[in-house]
Structure 1
Amino acid sequence: MDIIGIGYLGFETPELDAWREYGPQVMGFAKGRNPDSDPDSLYFKIDDRRHRFAFHPGAVDRLSYIGWEALGRLAFEDALKRFTAAGVEFVRGDAELCEKRGVRELVCFRDPVGYRHELFYAQKWTPRSFIPGRPHGGFLANERGAGHIVLITPEYGPELEHFLVNVMGFSWYGAGAGKGRTGFFRSKLNHHTSHDIAYGHSPGRMGVQHVGVFVNSIRDVGETYDIVRTRELPMMMTLGQHTQDPHLSFYHFTPSGFAFETIAEIEPWQGDPFELNPERLSLWGHEMVGPVLGLSVKTPAEVLDAQYLGGKA
């Protein structure tokens, strides 16, 4: 599939008021325009797209959907043929849902774990419309997507990797240097970073472990780091440089209990001509000062909606 990367992410949360301040004042996001049919949600921009992150009212913090961007209409139609051939059930989004997401067309489907995904093309955008919520140098998105996400799965079986590699067309990057079973995958058209999505195995648990966003400069990482420390927000890992994809980053927890990894590129990603097997997670820093799994990781019954648990997509 000709997929660029993650176009947008949607979450449910009871912490909308906290996000209204946190998004702009800590992360530097811009508040996006609400669709007319969705006045109660909160939308954030990190570039000139209509939005990249959406937070919807909900009783618990959980991931609602991952929106994958197809290169265009022809790539989108080819993907639907691939879904059909692979027996993947999908539902076409109606006009109202497409307007909420700001896209021409989309379909909804589930991965073998139960997480909801959407595939779309042609998200609306307005040139020079991104104005950060605080002084900030901006985010790297566009041709690489909005960032990456790491999910927790209660079971990690061969059907998950089959779905990601053979159906979605993602490249397998490797298992990384973390403990336990983790798989990193990259969309076909993303040649800028090692992974768009990863699944970590934790029996009986599901949820978002962290979301990674790329900023334009090391200064943007440092200033965000200072704000997090000044506000005494809970952190997962301190400032450091990874081994497998040599970027500068740190991790802290959001109002929804998952972590944001704020990342700056300090040298070009080396690509993956062979599978790396790093002996340690980071070259320096990244001291673990908080839990690996935040409060967003719950039981499957808390994370999956009741309709899906009842056997329907």
Structure 2
Amino acid sequence: MNADPDVFGSVHLGYIVMETNRFTDWRRFGTDAIGMHHDDLSRDLMRFRLDDHACRFLLRRGPAEDVVAIGWHLDDHTTFEQIEARVRAHGVPVATGTAEEAGLRGVERLLRFAGPKGITQEIYTTPVLAADPLTMLASGWVTGDSGMGHVAITSARPALTRGYFDTVFDARLTDYIDETISGVKLKIRFLRVDERHHSIAIAAVHGLPIDPIRTRVQHLNIQAASLDDLARSYERIHELGFDMALSVGQHTNDRELSYYARTPSGFEWEIGWNPLVVDESTWEPSTHQGISVWGHTPVGQTIVDRLGQFRIAARSLLHPEKTVPALSGGGIP
């Protein structure tokens, strides 16, 4: 734990930066299927909005087909300077974003530093609010004090990954899920930085230092404002021919109703509705057996897909996962 004042509750998931060459497919996926507001900035840049913030997802042209940065909205400059001091005190380089980079992300003050799995972590204080009203198929999305959703990653070094978010953001363990998928035993750690049940989920293969996912992230989540929004987006995914990964179901731990679609870049996108909000005065971490009370059944997965995952997992043994040991606190189980 950090000796300086706790920043828990002053940190919120703010934006995601992705790199892709599939702009046409992403435009259809984000706008016509999911139902977000879309802005073209140039041939090589576009953004999606969920609310009055100018940017929630920034897509830039490039070959990664993956998330490359996560932006964290901090409540005030004191928290910003405190986290900056923590990172510097551990000997990890920090870089100040240029005015152009901050502008693309819709923020006024930007700092970046290394994060787990090669995902750059960025912090900012004041978001820029868009002048134009939202134009989108969804009625709205839940953001505010809960942040804009969550990020789920797989890790061969879960203790170090959890230690990182504890060291940098004073993340708290919400709970665990033990699950077996295709004969592989997983332990999933759920971490929160504010009232949202989790902003980061870390899945690891039990007892094996392998990573079965090609992308840095396994899925991204955003929260629909209504059950009708969730149902209509589910319908549009099918109508537009995008792949579904998991059908509608309800999670055991946060009780969120959700489904998972497959994005044009290959990782998954979860649309959720009505997750519980953590009461800090009474919450105690626990372990749940299985990710779902009901539903969330795989859609269209073949034996070829499963074999492909095993090949990716085997290759991960040859390429050690990127970590930031100086910020990982020695690893927290």
Same fold per superposition (TM over 0.5): yes
TM-score by length of 1: 0.84
Structure 2 equivalent of residue 257 of structure 1: 266
The Cα offsets for residues 71-112 of structure 1, whole Å up to 9 and x where unpaired, read as 122211121112222333211112222222221211111124
Is the CA contact 1:246–1:269 (under 8 Å) kept in the aligned structure 2? no
Is the CA contact 2:176–2:288 (under 8 Å) kept in the aligned structure 1? no
Q: How does 1:64-143 map to 2 (within 5 A)?
A: 64-126=68-130, 129-132=133-136, 134=137, 136-143=138-145
Query: What displacement does 1:271 show?
Result: 4.1
Give the RMSD, CA atoms, in angstroms: 2.8
Structure 2 unaligned blocks of 5 or more: 1-6, 180-184, 324-333
In structure 1, how many angstroms separate the alpha carbons of the residues matched to 2:106 and 2:131?
Answer: 15
> 1:200 is matched by which residue type in structure 2?
A
Q: Does 1:12 align with 2:13?
A: no
In structure 2, how many angstroms separate the alpha carbons of the residues matched to 1:199 and 1:278?
Answer: 15
The Cα offsets for residues 24-67 of structure 1, whole Å up to 9 and x where unpaired, read as 11011111362xxx652111111110010111111231211000
- What secondary structure, in the 3-state scheme, does the structure 1 residue paired with 2:217 have? strand
In structure 1, how many angstroms separate the alpha carbons of the residues matched to 2:86 and 2:146?
Answer: 23
Structure 1 unaligned blocks of 5 or more: none
The Cα offsets for residues 142-181 of structure 1, whole Å up to 9 and x where unpaired, read as 222121111223x215332222112221112232233423
Query: What displacement does 1:231 show?
Result: 2.9
Deviates more, 1:211-220 or 1:136-145: 136-145
Higher relative contact order (CA 8 A, sep 6+): 2
> 2:127 is matched by which residue type in structure 1?
Q
Structure 1 equivalent of residue 203 of structure 2: 200
Identity between Structure 1 and Structure 2 (%): 25
The Cα offsets for residues 201-239 of structure 1, whole Å up to 9 and x where unpaired, read as 361555221111101100011111111222342111111
Q: Does 1:27 align with 2:14?
A: no
In structure 1, how many angstroms separate the alpha carbons of the residues matched to 2:246 and 2:130?
Answer: 35
Describe the shift of the 1:169–1:180 C-alpha distance in structure 2 as closer, same or farther (beyond 3 A). same
Describe the shift of the 1:26–1:256 C-alpha distance in structure 2 as closer, same or farther (beyond 3 A). same
- What secondary structure, in the 3-state scheme, does the structure 2 residue paired with 1:233 have? coil
Structure 2 equivalent of residue 159 of structure 1: 160
In structure 1, how many angstroms separate the alpha carbons of the residues matched to 2:219 and 2:160?
Answer: 23
**Which of 214, 220, 226 pairs up with 1:217?**
226
Structure 2 equivalent of residue 283 of structure 1: 293
Query: What displacement does 1:200 show?
Result: 2.2
Structure 1 equivalent of residue 174 of structure 2: 173
Describe the shift of the 1:7–1:14 C-alpha distance in structure 2 as closer, same or farther (beyond 3 A). same
Q: How many residues align?
A: 294
Structure 2 equivalent of residue 148 of structure 1: 150
Is the CA contact 1:185–1:198 (under 8 Å) kept in the aligned structure 2? yes
Deviates more, 1:85-94 or 1:254-263: 85-94
In structure 2, how many angstroms separate the alpha carbons of the residues matched to 1:61 and 1:83?
Answer: 28
> 1:158 is matched by which residue type in structure 2?
A
**Which of 247, 261, 281 pairs up with 1:238?**
247
In structure 1, how many angstroms separate the alpha carbons of the residues matched to 2:142 and 2:218?
Answer: 21
Describe the shift of the 1:64–1:197 C-alpha distance in structure 2 as closer, same or farther (beyond 3 A). same
Query: What displacement does 1:270 show?
Result: 5.1
- What secondary structure, in the 3-state scheme, does the structure 1 residue paired with 2:284 have? coil
> 2:187 is matched by which residue type in structure 1?
R
Structure 1 equivalent of residue 277 of structure 2: 269
In structure 2, how many angstroms separate the alpha carbons of the residues matched to 1:77 and 1:123?
Answer: 17
- What secondary structure, in the 3-state scheme, does the structure 2 residue paired with 1:140 have? coil
